Structure 1
Amino acid sequence: MSAHPHFDRTHTDDLAAFLSASPSQYHAVASAAERLEKAGFRQVSETDAWDGEAGGRYVLRGGAIIGWYVPVGARPETPFRIVGAHTDSTNLRVKPVPDTSSYGWRQLAVEIYGGALLNTWLDRDLGLSGRIVLRDGGTALVNLNRPLLRVPQLAVHLDRGVNEGGLKLDKQRHMQPVWGLGELDEGALVRIVAEEAGVDPAQVVGWDLMTHDVQPPAYLGLDGEFLAAGRLDNLLSVHAGTAALASAAAQPDLPYIPVLAAFDHEENGSESDTGAGGPLLGNVLERSVFARGGSYDHRARAFAGTICVSADTGHAVHPNYAEKHDPTHRPLPNGGPILKVNVNQRYATDGTGRGIFAAACDRAGVPWQTFVSNNAMPCGTTIGPITAARHGITTVDVGVPILSMHSARELCGVADPYLLASALKAFLED
């Protein structure tokens, strides 16, 4: 399917720039915050008192960002319209004791984060990114965006049956990257990241560091109808949600309070202080109600009228594995965002949610598709059911269909990011 005739290529160009600037979830929230600042939002601290005045605000905590815009005339019971997403992606994360060596090779000790497709991390030029923590409690972002690490695959001459029997990778033995020659050099990692951040290595006491593929996003296909990039799952949705919130903040007379909630740790279950299973979103929404003079009753009324669209990537039909998909639900790239349905509540969508999202797409002039898993295949999940259950708010799961989900490099239609953002704007602005 070719690109949608009405899509805006500049949006996809901007997404590519956002992905390049966001090799880790910590960079992603910094990038989103910068865009909200340009739209007139201001950062507030969770430890400060909040006022109830109109305007845009955002809170940062680790790899999560919550942004919201209070329109003029908003009452304590005014409901919220939320776009939910997650900032983390599957990858290789650096261990607390990182420096190691084996048989004359210097290596970096890593853990597997989330359900990564391990083979996609082999034989790639990898950089290192994330944050370091200093003795005074401060943090600094680090982005070594150059070929620094590599996880080399065993040559076929030493694994003659690999093409017939399949590649079998041991997460502990086979996934440790090389980055030099020589004996063990304890402190090498700290020295290199401290130099990158411009700080004294003695001040570095902790880190949350990870690998990323240094190959930049690229348009692909006969007519450039695809975008290939790392971290489409789920920075594509974070980017779209940020654009939608900034657009909503420029609209007069909003009947709702638009919100972007981009969480960390979705890929390993969301159970953290910055994940969808934690209290962050609920605290922000409640404090917004109370700052406008509301009571618990106002909070309950606001939540009862609140709707969340959980935006994540989903599965496009794979032409080489069509039997893995439901025979009547086969989304294609550039066909518009997908409505994700699972009656066992792996997705939160119900009939009401379907109507809400269809109406938003209609207002935006955006086509949409439906995704349902093959009954014989286990279904993934999102922040949607967690958000619905934790906060008691109506939630619908949507997203963009992609191929190679959880690969180091994923693939989507070139038009779909813009179409999703357009639908999210219509949802928030209503």
Structure 2
Amino acid sequence: MEHIEFNKELLAFLNGSPTPWHAVATMKARLDEAGFKELDEREDWTLESRQGYYVTRNGTSMVAFRTGSKDVTTSGIRMVGAHTDSPCLKVKPNPELRRKGYFQLGVEVYGGVLLNPWFDRDLSLAGRVTILDDNGEVRDTLIDFTKPVAFIPSLAIHLDREANNSRAVNPQTDLPPVIMQVADGDSTSFPELLKGQIQEQSGIIAKKVLGYELSFYDTASASFVGLRDEFIASARMDNLLSCYIGLQSLLNTTGDEAALLVCNDHEEVGSVSAEGAQGPFLSAVLDRWCGAGKARAIAHSMMISADNAHGIHPNYADRHDQNHGPILNQGPVIKINHNQRYATNSRSAGLYRHISDELGLPHQSFVVRSDMACGSTIGPLTAGNLGVTTLDIGVPQFGMHSIRELIGAEDGYTLFRVLTEFMQRERVL
């Protein structure tokens, strides 16, 4: 895959994945096209050598893998991990608000959202809805309004003269989006709006809406930015970028070595769930793949946890350690924290640097300032659950957890090339 094609497909992937459900559905379609076979956790598995497989959980997490041609207990598995979720605003179960003739929806903040950028954006709504259909069956369906259907208007500066000095955001009172105007006595309900959209979008007749998990998102498309197109701007770059890179790397391997991609949900809220990195999903898949040889296989394996890093902001350079300020378009960032917020050790970092150097590709290192708190990733959680040697790495970006984030147009492709080589390398440990 060439650089230009890689980035064009990245933009399409980002635009088509407004929620984790849509991201996993998109990845499934690409795996199906490449000849991977879907597995069902409720059924027995019979795995063949040199074959690709994938399994999903809750529709928001996925493990995809190639079995390779060798005994996995002695050859090990080359693993890459990412997460499908991003900070956002989710609709509450009883969200309807009618105020001054406006119909609004109450929202819950999911993850560490940078709230101010959500104002004055064209927002749409997407996610999963559980319904009772016209045959009396309980079923799930994905929904995406696609067009702008909501707006969170700022309060005019004339009514808040201190807005540019200090404007705090109250998530309960300031964030309910406006979705339409309603007349006095109007009985429009949110479930009825959902039923109409479901029928229009998929032809399914929903007798009753039983539940939903819906998120607002910015309708602005992912795009190149800069006079020389040096950057890519998009929503959900953290961490759909790494999901895309990991998927493309797995699809472009030779298939000789055992390789695996795990994309977990719920990283932004701690990863404690059935499909999160602190849950049993990946371990359960490895149990069924490796059987009694699982411990030996893991001892021969390595995990690369790919999650975006903080690029040094030119307006806030003092927020970085002076020797560890990653620059956009100067390579992926090896993330190090000796308090184990990142799982990198000298061995895992050394292997990545070696492969990158062999390919003539750049790499950088990141350590948070000693007087600042450090974030974390699925890396330490996966390492702790499995006992696998792990590296934390990521593409540097601006605006992490904003509604729109920015990366360098070169860095994703660089990481893809290194991860592809890692996934087909004969020996990693």
TM-score tier, shorter chain, comes to over 0.9
Amino acid at match of 2:403: A
- In structure 1, what residue type is equivalent to 2:326? P
Q: Which residue does the alignment assign to 2:66?
A: 69
Q: TM-score, normalising length from structure 1?
A: 0.93
Q: Does 1:236 align with 2:238?
A: no
Alignment of 1:324-403 (within 5 A): 324-403=319-398
Shift of 1:7: 7.2
Listed as ranges, the matches of 1:88-99 within 5 Å are: 88-99=85-96
The aligned residue for residue 266 of structure 1 is: 267
Amino acid at match of 2:217: H
1:38 equivalenced with 2:33 (yes/no): yes
Q: RMSD of aligned C-alpha atoms?
A: 1.5
Q: Residue in 2 aligned with 1:160?
A: 161
Q: Aligned equivalents of 2:250 and 2:215: distance in 1?
A: 29
Match of 1:275 in 2: 276
1:107 match: secondary structure? strand
Q: Deviation of residue 423 (structure 1)?
A: 1.1
- CA change 1:137–1:283 in 2 (3 A) is farther
Identity of aligned residues (%): 40
**Corresponding residue for residue 171 of structure 1:** 171
2:252 alignment partner, SS class:
helix
CA distance in 1 between partners of 2:97 and 2:367 (Å): 45
Find the aligned partners of 2:187 and 2:108 in 1 and give their Cα distance.
19
Amino acid at match of 1:212: Y
Unpaired stretches in structure 2, ≥5 consecutive residues = none
- Aligned 1:16-415 pairs, distance under 5 A: 16-54=11-49, 55-62=51-58, 63-135=60-132, 136-164=137-165, 166-182=166-182, 183=186, 185-186=188-189, 187-195=191-199, 196-248=201-253, 251=254, 253-254=256-257, 257-290=258-291, 295=292, 298-415=293-410
Judge conservation of contact 2:224–2:230 (CA < 8 Å) in 1: yes
Q: Where in structure 1 are there 5+ consecutive unaligned residues? A: 1-5
CA deviations over 1:36-90 (Å, ceiling 9, x no partner): 1122101010011011312110001120010010122334444111100000011
Q: Distance in 2 between matches of 1:101 and 1:175?
A: 14
Secondary structure at the residue paired with 1:174?
coil
Partners of 1:159 and 1:80 in 2: how far apart? 57
Question: What is the aligned residue count?
Answer: 414
Moved over 6 A (4+): none
8 Å CA contact retained: 1:100, 1:185: no
CA contact (8 A) 1:361 1:426 kept: no
Which AA in structure 2 matches 1:208? E
Q: CA deviation at 1:350?
A: 1.0
The CA distance in 2 between the partners of 1:52 and 1:156, in whole Å, is 63
CA contact (8 A) 1:99 1:185 kept: no
